[in-house]
Chain A
Amino acid sequence: MLLDVRNLTVKLNSTNLTINAIDKMSLSMRDGSIHGLVGETGSGKSLFAKALIGTLSDKWTVQADRMFWQGEDLLKLSTDKRRQIINRDMAMIFQEPSRSLDPTVTIGEQINEVIPKSEFQGSIFSRRQERLQIAKNLLIRVGIKHYQQCYDSYPHELSEGLCQKVMIAMAIIRSPKLLIADEPTDAMESTTKIQIMRLLQKLNTQKNMSVLLITHDLESVINYAEEMTLLYSGQSVESGAVKELLKRPYHPYTQNLFKSIPKFNTDTRPKSRLETLPGSTPPLQHLPIGCRLGPRCPRAQKECVYTPKSVKLKGHVFSCHHPINLE
């Protein structure tokens, strides 16, 4: 097991109340897999990534029963030690790549500063040449043809897709074990989207780099990921292998989500409405108690005011008092 998070709670501390933005969420990842983390906007996907990589500001507190990274509990380590492990093993790419690059420094310099010292073989005098060579190889590896031009450019002179490729290049230089991709193809055109996703897939197979793919784009998860975790309003809903989940979801929310995409829902008649749950996701200051899906769930009953325990069944993990497809 590469990553094993149990009952992670991320609290937002404001002056007069505390909100559990993520409430007892669990996620586990196998070594070398692509794992999709899916949820609606505001369900806490990005928050989870930030909590994992440790870039949350002081306003947030992170608690968990355990947060194991290759058998080591990250939350029990000192801040420095944790930073060290995270910097060595994890890298992250962001949803707005052009805003995630320093606008006043050229791409080349930004790549240069993340090249670890261990990459250099030659003496200190040939380092300049070597840096240039490493950076160029990287840019070629992520599929940038005009690497020299890209090397000399400022971020605002490149397209979003190119910026994202540069971000990926900077992430893979340290050959991390886990790449967290936080909506990597958000607001990109479909050809660029496919390029980026293929690149991630290639890195996954060739370098054995695990990818945590955070997205609300269910289609790309189904195409590229092997396992997925569904998140609703900060609570984990269901997780398991993508194919299994598609075939037989146990949680009403999972089923509904798949039904909302016409491609996976074969019995949609022409011009009929797509199926969605009534209502909308609750805002953080008015979260329902117990199962947060409760007020919108078609199968909700009395017990749903208590938070359901996660149940493990045939490779799925789900949290529901009244699961479906169980007969």
Chain B
Amino acid sequence: MFIYLIRRLNLLITTLFVISIISFSLGHLFPGDPVINFSGHPSLTYSEYQTISQQLALDKSYFEQYLVYLTRIFHGDFGVSFGSQKPIVDDFFRVLPASIELSFYALVVTLVISLPLGLWAGIKNNTLIDRVIFSIATVFNSIPIFWVGLLFILIFTLNTGWLPMSGRLNLLYEVPTITGFLLLDIGLSELPNKGYVYLDALHHLILPTITLAVLPVTLVIGMMRSSVIHVMGLPYIKAAQTKGLSSWQLISRHVFRNALLPIIPQFGLLFNTLVTSTMITEVIFSWPGIGHWIIEAIYQRDFPAIQAALFIVASMMISINVLLEIAHMLVNPLMRKEFNATK
């Protein structure tokens, strides 16, 4: 187990190392002066230029520059943004909670909808129900997410007017930022009409969450369905049938668990699609999150911001993937068997 953890840690560190090299080289590869790209100050006087250049060791070899870059990253200093002239880390963590909130709800919706549907389709394999679920999943899997988002806006906002089109909250309400997570903030704030604010926030959440959940839902339905079909054909399910369990007991105790465990590592891939989809969704619904922020940075050629965002988002993704693998190892006894067998 210890060796396994070391191995995963090794993978994590190596990948982070490669990412940091790519991120570092971007500073030189972006058009413009490296001093400006690394620091983020667009107009510098000659003496300022000299000091910063020396601070960042930009007059020395690439290797020394890289070391200085690494130390800066460890101290959380990614320079300042061209646009706002504030430290990028502050900007980043200001918008991060909104994205996490949206992704989290989408993830919950995904699991709540797709696992039961996938299970159902897998159990009723080759029946009408299976075909209906699987065809709908395939259709939605093939529809581009930005189009789904626009379609939802068209139907639910422009035609019917049931749901708001963009943003996190109606402009009438002003909720002070404490944690950055809107639903928490509302709870912590001392607004007189909290109920209405909650309702409004939830109304704003519905469309982005569903739009974001569409793709992962279809993916998980597919994974779960094939996993269930596989498990249903295994001898221990047949054996369990003869033990006098009801079909509900059989499914909840044996089928669900065994079908779910092997697809846990694939949830890592799900996170990857979720993050890219989040960026698109945030732009469509003007959701003030990371995706929105990165795309703005790209439009404005805010090189320090792009560089930092690349590094932070990629590191987060890799950490999540590694954590998921370790979690999978902990919950799946079969993984431990394989690990013991191969050492």
Contacts and interface: CB of A to CB of B under 8 A. Distances in A.
Interface of A: 53, 55, 86-88, 90-92, 94, 96, 99-105, 113-114, 116, 154, 156-157, 167, 170-171, 174
B241 interface: yes
Interface in B295-343: 332-334, 337
A133 B245 CA distance: 21
Contact of B245 (A91, A101, A113): A113
B148 interface: no
A3 to B, nearest CB: 16
Main DSSP-derived SS at the A contact region: mixed
B257 A104 contact: yes
Contacts of A55: 238, 241-242
A71 to B, nearest CB: 22
Contacts of B239: 92, 94, 100-101, 167
B108 interface: no
Main DSSP-derived SS at the B contact region: helix
Contact of B236 (A91, A99, A157, A174): A99
B333 A154 contact: yes
B94 interface: no
A98 B258 CA distance: 15
Contacts of B234: 99
A171 B334 CA distance: 25
Interface residues of B, number: 21
A113 B249 contact: yes
29 contacts: A55-B238, A86-B242, A90-B242, A92-B242, A94-B235, A94-B238, A94-B239, A99-B235, A101-B239, A102-B253, A102-B254, A102-B258, A103-B236, A103-B258, A103-B337, A104-B261, A104-B332, A104-B333, A104-B334, A105-B254, A105-B257, A113-B253, A114-B243, A114-B245, A116-B244, A154-B333, A156-B333, A156-B337, A157-B337
Interface in B221-253: 234-236, 238-245, 249, 253
Given A105-B254, A156-B333, 16 more contacts: A55-B238, A88-B244, A90-B242, A92-B239, A92-B242, A94-B238, A99-B234, A103-B236, A103-B333, A104-B257, A104-B258, A114-B243, A114-B244, A116-B244, A157-B337, A170-B243
Nearest to A84: B244
Nearest to A174: B244
Contact of A91 (B242, B254, B261): B242
Nearest to A106: B333
Contacts of A157: 337
A74 B236 CA distance: 25
A180 B333 CA distance: 30
- Most chain A CB within a 10 A radius of its CB, from B240, B242, B333, B337: B242
A189 B295 CA distance: 67
A167 B238 CA distance: 13
